Structure 1
């Protein structure tokens, strides 16, 4: 059934949006099923971004819908402060069982931003209870995105966030990013050049003192700042340096977890095990907001064991909606879908076709680089003189108007379709992008 456009557009202050432009030129989504959105007018929009990197199993999956509906009728809400409900423990065990190594202790939040702030707090608490309270410094990376909480902004490396809201937590610092157009343009998968950039962490240790650094947080593959794929050996080197200096290594896998690069986690796929992993997005197929943090058993034991001689709260942290019953039900149904339809394996099986298709755009107008990993691709265009980002936004809007949803981050077009995508739909995405690029000045 077609829906009329709303007449109260001004009431909603939209996130990460040019509100004035949007409300003069609204582009609305009214329903979704499988690989497609529908507009209020009934036009189909092929989803090339899994919503916002999150609808990994496709839209409107009935088993997830039914799980939410049934749970809402049984237990709509339960507090998890000094109480619990069964699904929270079932889900924690399922998620923990999918993590690498012994990262099987799971704390639930409601978003990626909250998961990041939780992970940073856990790292600080871990060092403090071990008598290393001087470890308060947190290290992020340039062009890193770790959500919009003040902790995430502090370790993040996105200029507008920091210019608008300040540096966030004091004492944070940053590694250089790994993007190197001169040496690595049009690389397929991981680039050969760039592992040495991890050695900048040794410089920060020398500058600040290793005994002041609590954790390093990086995205294994940075998504929101333009699909920055880790160079071969880079993450391994970070792991080595962190271990050497007693620094916790956190992987922000809000985007990469749950099949996006062909495995439950990027840590598993890339063979590098951090101490803490943050997750969100695909954990519930985006049907209900949820975030999660998985940490090594030894970290959990250290924090909870510190209170063994005295009753009390070990980690003074949490959220009203931690492990919300509806989110837990959605997550359990989502994990069942991933397993029953072998979607992680399906994602990996499509990688070669995906890679060849997106790199077919290498001769496209304005294209200066293409990067890919798993079912993700970043197509970077040269910016217009004096107007960085304008070309990317124009391409985003024109593609939507022709029936394809992509993600524009500056002058980079990101593609990350649901894992149920078919080869013919990949071809449609690439053809649509090629056509719009050819017509874009």
Structure 2
């Protein structure tokens, strides 16, 4: 087809007014990567080219794109009732959704607080943890523990407990009373491991050192991602999460799992906590909850934590927190339709079925130039490239950019290429993704 039949929308756009998030704006606008439609596991760009979605949008479109079930549910709901408040009012959908989610969650995490994003879910979870400790008479427990290389969104709470330097250093002051565990990336001992690495469980013992330093009576909660996605698919060593659970339980510290990325099937079970057999006290989610169609997040809370707030006169607000759009009817409709898709197509466990095939395909890249590690679990993976001495991150960006123009969308975090294709992907499409990545890595010096 000619360019006259498919005019490029970028030619009619003014790119300047939009200050893009997490983007090198000047670099992007010099050669924009513009997407105009999506269906299945493919985007279409402004030139009419198909681009294989190797990232589920932004870790969120787990059921692929263009799902009519979701768009029709959204359309019906927005016509019936576009908005209703949930402050001292209610409407049916968030109650229905919370019930569905509590049945999906790990046993005991049967209370759900709705947010609009992963960042809001994290800040909500941190406030719940602080409020809970005060409610049970442990008001000195105000310290929060995060982890190096952790990503917990962009609210001040999430930035404070997060451990990615570029997300933190420009935004001081942050929350006081925050400390960090060491990260679990160990290239020397664990490079090219398929699945969870064998070495590194001892890094959980750093929590005991922090308890000794600060005093258990001063620590409210520990928050970690079961798998650090945004930092470049950094996996928990075997036994690591279990050890964190043992230490937090021993000292009366709440354990929060940030499952904004790992939730809703990404690692082969509804939640990573179920896949790896560790039940935290609180789980934060978003992204895959609505398949990316409408912004929404959900925080799963153990019943005993919820019940600790339900004290005092019944006419008083128990938790002074929430958002205008908490439990938004259109978002809830999208989430309910998404859960139906996950159930009907058994997508929440499909990553486990494809895991071995995906791992073999991904690790076939290990001998390519500049590849120093490959990591994978479920249907997520990373190719770690050696950094150029004079330009950290440049090689990773060039591979990311080159893949797009070759017809595949991947993510780069510095010199790490991360992939998380939709759970609906077929083996031939995984092959195409890996082949494209291999081609681009070979030609990137």
Q: TM-score, normalization: structure 1?
A: 0.98
Matched, 1:82 2:88: yes
- Give per-residue Cα distances to partners, 1:229-265, cap 9 Å, x unaligned: 1000000000000000000000000000000011110
Matched, 1:254 2:257: no
Give the Cα–Cα distance (whole angstroms) in 2 for the partners of residues 196 and 166 of structure 1. Answer: 31
- Relative to structure 1, the CA distance from residue 167 to residue 219 in structure 2 (aligned partners, 3 Å threshold; closer, same or farther) is farther
Structure 1 runs not aligned, ≥5 long: none
Give the Cα–Cα distance (whole angstroms) in 2 for the partners of residues 17 and 115 of structure 1. Answer: 23
User: Partner of 2:3 in structure 1?
Assistant: none
Give the Cα–Cα distance (whole angstroms) in 2 for the partners of residues 176 and 26 of structure 1. Answer: 37
User: Partner of 1:54 in structure 2?
Assistant: 60
Which segment is superposed worse, 163-172 or 59-68?
163-172
Structure 2 runs not aligned, ≥5 long: 1-5
State how 1:175-214 maps to structure 2 within 5 Å.
175-214=181-220
Give how far 1:167 is off. Answer: 5.0
Give the Cα–Cα distance (whole angstroms) in 2 for the partners of residues 301 and 225 of structure 1. Answer: 35
Give the Cα–Cα distance (whole angstroms) in 2 for the partners of residues 255 and 46 of structure 1. Answer: 20
Select which of 352, 355, 367 maps to 1:363: 367
- Give per-residue Cα distances to partners, 1:70-99, cap 9 Å, x unaligned: 000001000100001100100001111111
User: Partner of 1:392 in structure 2?
Assistant: 396
Select which of 3, 12, 23 maps to 2:29: 23
Give the Cα–Cα distance (whole angstroms) in 1 for the partners of residues 282 and 419 of structure 2. Answer: 27
Give the Cα–Cα distance (whole angstroms) in 2 for the partners of residues 131 and 66 of structure 1. Answer: 48
Give how far 1:2 is off. Answer: 5.1
Give the Cα–Cα distance (whole angstroms) in 2 for the partners of residues 267 and 85 of structure 1. Answer: 31
User: Partner of 2:298 in structure 1?
Assistant: 292
Select which of 317, 323, 330 maps to 2:321: 317
Give how far 1:7 is off. Answer: 2.4
Give how far 1:11 is off. Answer: 0.9
Give the Cα–Cα distance (whole angstroms) in 1 for the partners of residues 9 and 385 of structure 2. Answer: 36
Select which of 350, 373, 377 maps to 1:373: 377
Matched, 1:69 2:71: no
Give how far 1:39 is off. Answer: 0.9
Give the Cα–Cα distance (whole angstroms) in 2 for the partners of residues 41 and 199 of structure 1. Answer: 53
Select which of 393, 410, 417 maps to 1:413: 417
Check whether the contact 1:153–1:167 (CA below 8 A) recurs between aligned residues.
no
Give how far 1:346 is off. Answer: 2.1
User: Partner of 1:267 in structure 2?
Assistant: 273
Give the Cα–Cα distance (whole angstroms) in 1 for the partners of residues 8 and 309 of structure 2. Answer: 52
Give how far 1:160 is off. Answer: 1.0
- Secondary structure of 1:350's counterpart equals helix
User: Partner of 1:331 in structure 2?
Assistant: 335
Give the Cα–Cα distance (whole angstroms) in 2 for the partners of residues 60 and 148 of structure 1. Answer: 28
Check whether the contact 1:407–1:413 (CA below 8 A) recurs between aligned residues.
yes
Check whether the contact 2:141–2:219 (CA below 8 A) recurs between aligned residues.
yes
Check whether the contact 2:270–2:349 (CA below 8 A) recurs between aligned residues.
no
Give how far 1:345 is off. Answer: 2.5
Give the Cα–Cα distance (whole angstroms) in 1 for the partners of residues 167 and 381 of structure 2. Answer: 24
Give how far 1:3 is off. Answer: 5.1
User: Partner of 2:108 in structure 1?
Assistant: 102
Give the Cα–Cα distance (whole angstroms) in 2 for the partners of residues 398 and 187 of structure 1. Answer: 26
- Give per-residue Cα distances to partners, 1:17-52, cap 9 Å, x unaligned: 010111111110000000000012211000000000
- Secondary structure of 1:231's counterpart equals coil
Select which of 232, 241, 247 maps to 2:247: 241
- Secondary structure of 2:146's counterpart equals strand
Give how far 1:311 is off. Answer: 2.3
Check whether the contact 2:382–2:419 (CA below 8 A) recurs between aligned residues.
yes
Check whether the contact 1:68–1:329 (CA below 8 A) recurs between aligned residues.
yes
Check whether the contact 1:154–1:167 (CA below 8 A) recurs between aligned residues.
no
- Give per-residue Cα distances to partners, 1:271-312, cap 9 Å, x unaligned: 0000000000000000000011001000000112x23x3521
Q: Tell me the number of residue pairs that the alignment of Structure 1 and Structure 2 aligns.
A: 439
Give how far 1:364 is off. Answer: 1.0
Give the Cα–Cα distance (whole angstroms) in 1 for the partners of residues 68 and 417 of structure 2. Answer: 31
Matched, 1:430 2:437: no
User: Partner of 2:125 in structure 1?
Assistant: 119
User: Partner of 1:153 in structure 2?
Assistant: 159
Give the Cα–Cα distance (whole angstroms) in 1 for the partners of residues 350 and 187 of structure 2. Answer: 31
Check whether the contact 2:69–2:337 (CA below 8 A) recurs between aligned residues.
yes
Check whether the contact 2:51–2:407 (CA below 8 A) recurs between aligned residues.
yes
